[in-house]
Amino acid sequence: MTPGGALTGRWRVPGDKSISHRAIMLAAIAEGETRISGFLEGADALATLAVFRQLGVNIDGPDGGLVRVRGVGMRGLQAPAEALDLGNSGTSMRLLAGLFAGQTFPVTLTGDVSLSRRPMRRVTEPLALMGAQIATTADGTAPLVITPTAQLKGVDYALPVASAQVKSSVLLAGLYANGETCVTEPARTRDHTERMLTTFGYSIRRQGLRVCLTGGGRLSGCRLTIPADISSAAFFMVGASIAPGSDVLLEEVGINPTRVGIVNILRAMGADIELIDRRTVGGEPVADIRVCYAPLKGIQIPVDQVPLAIDEFPAIFIAAACAEGETILTGAAELRVKESDRIAVMANGLAQLGIDAEPRPDGIRIIGGQLGSTAATGAIDAHGDHRVAMAFAMAGLRASGIIEIHDCANVETSFPGFATLAANSGLNIVEQRV
């Protein structure tokens, strides 16, 4: 990365990762065919797709974001010949643990080094309350070995952490359980599972923070269009906000209210963001997002925005480094159990660039205004975390020297083609494969 530049132009970032996973899962167990467009052809979503092929589901594509799934119905999945490797994808492992808990065959779920370190008891414990039998390592991590149970039973579960993955895991198991399954969240988290179940014709009841469904129903294949991923758009929203002269239009981005923390937080910092032509695509609200450069100021990030921006904090920390004054994040301990410990890894990277960043158990304090004014240059270790790598790429717009980002091949998990798109939009970035 050589310093400087501005972002300009209009483009569509790849499809939403969370929605792509769910589209394949529900299409596979639906009756009839589902045609999906806008599917994310990134490693995480492809891992979910490959799993269902191993379970005997006939899937065409992806081809230019188009996927055709011939659903096998609730009871049509077949035993896989070997363990299912989910790579780097926490969403795949946690949601599939729920979906597979109610099957009649055993399944083993494995992942890469990062995924094998992440906590899985948050799903195995509520699933055990439903009668599921899932073994983890002594540390509560993958591999997950799922042994079939005669019949799952519904549960009324209060989530201890605000996690859409845990909520979704329990709801997917609930499809196979006797009676009603209810989940109550401590704070609203992304609701793509609930929306998509509705799109596939499954009845969901929501009251405030509580969502319920009754097991034993069926899903009907449908047509789905997946919006562009706001979590991928976030890097360009931050890049355009921090680089003078920037003016970008990000097309057809999902603006589900459970995902718009990045817009709310950047606006509170003074960003110039306009949501244009709001409409609904595939059961999800979308808009074109225009972002122009504007000077940012540091803020205390409202705690209620944390679940709504949970994957965007690496990018937000770069915005904070460029803002005037200090930014404080609290209530975000979950960041420590993502693909990397995003508080520690980001604090180390910011320190490497000469920025004062004080990590805390549940957040961080960042003193802004230093990027560009210090000898902001150096080698950053992304620790294999796609979002850390892309966040530091955007820092290049304001750094005073070359930034080298190491261990960043996993960018492909959520954003295939990121470096090319970023270079075409004005970032001075060169990809080197080792």
Ligand X SMILES: C=C(OP(=O)(O)O)C(=O)O
Q: Are 321 and 371 in contact (CB under 8 A)?
A: yes
163 appears as a binding residue in the annotation: yes
| Closest CB 16 distance from ligand S3P, rounded Å | 9
- Contacted entry of ligand S3P, ligand X, none for residue 261, CB cut-off 5 to 8 Å set by kind: none
The residue within the footprint of ligand S3P, chosen from 37, 149, 165, 340 (CB under 6 A), is 165
**Phi and psi angles of residue 180, each rounded to the nearest 5 degrees, phi first:** -95, 140
Is residue 338 marked as binding? yes
Continuous H helices in 217-256? 230-242
Segment contacting ligand S3P (CB under 6 A): 1-9, 53-61, 162-170, 213-221? 162-170
**How many Å apart are CA 175 and CA 276, to the nearest integer?**
37
> Distance between CA 261 and CA 348 in Å, rounded?
24
Q: Is 22 in the site for ligand X (CB under 6 A)?
A: no
Is residue 246 part of the contact set for ligand S3P (CB under 6 A)? Answer: no
Residues 332-351 that bind ligand S3P (CB under 6 A): 334
Closest CA to 31 of 78, 77, 70: 70
Mark whether 60 is an active-site residue: no
Q: Does 339 bind ligand X (CB under 6 A)?
A: yes
Closest by CA position to 342, among listed 382, 397, 374, 304: 382
Cβ proximity to ligand S3P: between 163 and 327 the closer is: 163
Residue pair 409/364 in contact by the 8 Å Cβ criterion: no
Residue 122 token pair: 């948050």
Residue 155: both structure tokens together: 């549960």
Distance CA 289, CA 221 (A): 31
Point out the catalytic residue in the list 191, 229, 311, 381.
311
Instruction: Provide the 3-class DSSP secondary structure of residue 224.
Output: strand
- Tell me whether residue 112 is annotated as binding: no
> Binding to ligand X by residue 90, rule CB under 6 A?
yes
Nearest to 338 by CA among 306, 373, 371, 301: 306
Contact call for residue 85 and ligand X (CB under 6 A): no
CA-wise closest residue to 40 among 74, 5, 66, 7: 66
For 36, the token pair is: 């999906």
Of these partners, ligand S3P, ligand X, none, which one is at the site of residue 381 (CB under 5 to 8 Å by kind)? none
Measured CA to CA, the distance from residue 292 to residue 245 in angstroms comes to 8
The SS3 of residue 415 is coil
Spell out, one character per residue from 31 to 70, where the chain touches ligand X: x when CB under 6 A holds, - when not.
-------------x--------------------------
Residues paired with residue 289 on neighbouring β-strands, in sequence order: 250, 275
Residue 41 Cβ vs ligand S3P, minimum distance, rounded to whole Å? 17
Q: According to CB under 6 A, which residues from 347 to 376 bind ligand X?
A: none
Question: In degrees rounded to 5, what are phi and psi of residue 58?
Answer: -85, 115
Rounded Cα–Cα distance for residues 400 and 412 (Å): 27
Tell which one of 103, 168, 181, 246 touches ligand S3P (CB under 6 A).
168
Residue 181 interacting with ligand S3P (CB under 6 A):
no
165 annotated binding-site participant: yes
Per partner kind, with CB cut-offs from 5 to 8 A, the member of ligand X, ligand S3P, none near residue 190 is ligand S3P
> Which runs of consecutive H residues, i.e. helices, occur in 245-385?
261-268, 313-322, 342-352
Cβ 6 to ligand X shortest distance, Å? 27
Q: Is residue 18 at the binding interface for ligand S3P, with CB under 6 A as the rule? A: yes
Q: How many helices (H) and strands (E) does the chain have?
A: 12, 23
Residue 118 is assigned to a ligand binding site: yes
- The least distance separating ligand S3P from the CB of residue 163, rounded to whole angstroms, comes to 3
Q: Residue positions in the annotated binding site?
A: 17-18, 22, 90, 118, 163, 165, 311, 338, 342, 387
**Where in the sequence numbering do the catalytic residues fall?**
311
Q: Residue positions in the annotated binding site for phosphoenolpyruvate?
A: 17, 90, 118, 165, 342, 387
Q: Residue positions in the annotated binding site for 3-phosphoshikimate?
A: 17-18, 22, 163, 165, 311, 338
Q: Which residues bind ligand S3P (CB under 6 A)?
A: 18, 91, 163-165, 168, 190, 310-311, 334
Q: Which residues bind ligand X (CB under 6 A)?
A: 44, 89-91, 311, 338-339, 387, 414
